[in-house]
Structure 1
């Protein structure tokens, strides 16, 4: 017991002797905590960037791998009738853009200039909405690949020789009036048996290949010089291809009436076999051949 008391007194003596040093150390730590925090270490390879004021995600700047391409696009606003049409330039990094022209147009509208106006819908070459003139060729923007040559500037116009609604949106009112005029549907003198469809053999159905695929994009008609000068009366390649589609359909019973509607100097015979229509069709169809087949049926 005596030894335990001696050891307890020794411990108290040690703590009492160490108390001044402990207090001094605590004051030193408090003064360090109240001082200004040290500046962060800056790596020379990654400089500190200020936070964006408009977004929480900052897009990195263009690097040596960027592929910058210029697009010159036709602009005209009907709300400014005194202003002349103009070409406006936009630049995009192709490495951040989809492969098709429509991808570039959508990115320009979404990220660069929301006033740019154009038509588009399916993005799959089915609807025909995005027909326009790209680098001198009538085509569909969704099927036209962007050339990877950054030095070549792409030029985009509305379909030629059409009235313009705005920017690269053509007015196709006359085009669809002509389509309606050929009665693009099956016509019968005898009604089908109730609850039955109109039958067609495989051979007769095959005759419609290369005709029914037309999507009425108007690329062929607006590339035809004859249609440029006579669009009020000449039906043009697209409508004549559609007309032959119904003449070739074995289920239709109004073939003579259809041919009679074409038997004049303007509707059909303004075709001079220039064949721009067959060259430019984005679906690979041959309107020139369809027109020749109509002429053959009219002659024999």
Structure 2
């Protein structure tokens, strides 16, 4: 199998170029296995991110034949011809397949992605019913792989857009019965939910079935109701 890999060396290359590598066409190899084979036995200068190899850490996201994918869960057997591997789109390339994730992390921090409480800490843990857990569980499955950002045409054109994962994570806490935070100002801003044109590619790209498109549309309703009824409940 031929892997056509995007290569970029800062200070040396004016722009990314493609380099072809021949790798064993093994039935049990993911794209990440093929990249590690290249790194270990063919070209040690190839740079890319990976960690767990189990679809949990989210660090091995790349563009595979034009689509954002976790390379640990995308297999050589899924393809019949050369496989093109590029960095995630919408992010500045640091080197080869490694992209700058600082803007993504900055967007995450804007939505206060933690439980916000007011008053004294309780003497015991906050118990939740199964129904209360189910309200936000779907959105808690996000692994911050950034595939939804790479698939989102809005974010690619406007990096100031909060993006699907950040908004879905905000909803994870908005819908948590233990949270007392108020994320209205950041989510209802021009760079928040109203920047989304509801293409839905973020949901299609998500490997954990989080459905960030649904999270965005749900909060649009919340923001609209709150604009009309300022004292309406924030959870929806």
Q: TM-score, normalised by structure 1?
A: 0.72
Q: Which residue does 1:131 correspond to in 2?
A: 61
Q: After TM superposition, list the pairs within 5 Å mapping 1:46-125 onto structure 2.
A: 69-80=1-12, 82-95=13-26, 98-125=28-55
Based on CA coordinates, which of the two structures has the bigger radius of gyration? Answer: 1
Q: State yes or no: 1:240 paired with 2:203.
A: no
Cα distance, 1:109 vs structure 2: 0.5
Q: 1 CA distance for matches of 2:163 and 2:79?
A: 35
Task: Name the SS for the 2:147 alignment partner.
Answer: coil
Q: 1 CA distance for matches of 2:122 and 2:15?
A: 60
| Among candidates 206, 210, 216, match of residue 144 of structure 2 | 216
Cα distance, 1:148 vs structure 2: 6.0
Question: Which structure's relative contact order is higher, taking Cα pairs within 8 Å and 6+ residues apart?
Answer: 2
Instruction: Point out where structure 1 has 5 or more consecutive residues left out of the alignment.
Output: 1-68
Q: TM-score, normalised by structure 2?
A: 0.91
Task: Name the SS for the 1:155 alignment partner.
Answer: strand
Task: Name the SS for the 1:73 alignment partner.
Answer: strand
Q: Which residue does 2:210 correspond to in 1?
A: 285
Instruction: Point out where structure 2 has 5 or more consecutive residues left out of the alignment.
Output: 226-236
- 1:86-128 CA distance string (max 9 Å, x none): 0000001214x74211110111100111000000000000000
Query: Cα RMSD over matched residues?
Result: 1.5
Q: After TM superposition, list the pairs within 5 Å mapping 1:1-40 onto structure 2.
A: none
| Among candidates 88, 92, 117, match of residue 188 of structure 1 | 117
Q: 2 CA distance for matches of 1:119 and 1:92?
A: 19
Cα distance, 1:217 vs structure 2: 0.7
